[in-house]
Amino acid sequence: MRLVVDLNRCQGYAQCAFLAPEVFAMHGEESLLYDPNPGTDGEADAELRENVTRAVAACPVRAILLELADGRAGDGPGGAS
C-alpha cells in the first residue's frame, strides 16, 4: 500500500488515527504522522488493508490518497475516477 496525506487539507480530526493506529498517529495536538508505505508490498495483510481503507473513507476532509498494492487507486483528492 502507498498513501499520501494532503496536509494542506488535513485539519487534525484524527479519524484516521482511531481507525488505523498502526499507520496514522497524531503528533501533538493536530500534527499527523503516517507511514507512507505500510505493509509489505503484494501481501499487505487483510486487516491492515481494511483499516486503512476505512480511515481513508472516514476522513472528513478527504485528505488521504491511497493506492492499494494491486494498483487500484483509492479515494481522495483527485483520486482516479
Partner 1 sequence: MTVDGSLERLKREGRIVVVGASLAGLRAAETMREKGFTGSLTMIGDEPYEPYDRPPLSKQVLLGRAGPERTALPRRRDIEAAWRLGVPATGLDMAARRVRLADGDEVEYDRLLIATGVRARPWPQADEAALDGVFVLRTRDDAAALEQKLAAGPGRVLVIGAGFTGSEIASACRERGLPVTVAERGAAPLVGALGGVVGEVAAEMHREHGVDLRTGIMVTRLEGDATGRVRVAHLSDGTTLEADVVVVSLGAMRNTEWLAGSGLGAGPRGIACDAGCRAFDIRGIVTDDIYVAGDVARSPHALFGYQFLSLEHWGNAVAQAETAAHNMLSESADRRPHLWVPAFWSSQFGVNIKSVGVPSMGTEILIAQGSRDERRFTGVYGYQGRVIGAVTFDQSRWLQFYERLIEETAPFPPTFTTVDRRPEGNRPMPADFPDPSVPTHGPTITLSGYSPADRRMTFTPAHH
Site for partner 1 in 27-46 (CB under 8 A): 27-37
Using CB under 8 A as the binding rule, whether residue 4 contacts partner 1 is answered as: yes
CA 42 to chain centre: 17
Span near partner 1 by CB under 8 A; candidates 14-22, 42-50, 60-68: 60-68
What torsion do the CA atoms of 1, 66, 48, 10 make, to the nearest 10 degrees? 130
Q: How many CB atoms lie within 10 A of CB 59?
A: 22
Using CB under 8 A as the binding rule, whether residue 80 contacts partner 1 is answered as: yes
Q: How many CB atoms lie within 10 A of CB 64?
A: 29
Q: How far is the CB of 10 from partner 1 (least distance, A)?
A: 8
Using CB under 8 A as the binding rule, whether residue 60 contacts partner 1 is answered as: no
Q: How far is the CB of 22 from partner 1 (least distance, A)?
A: 11
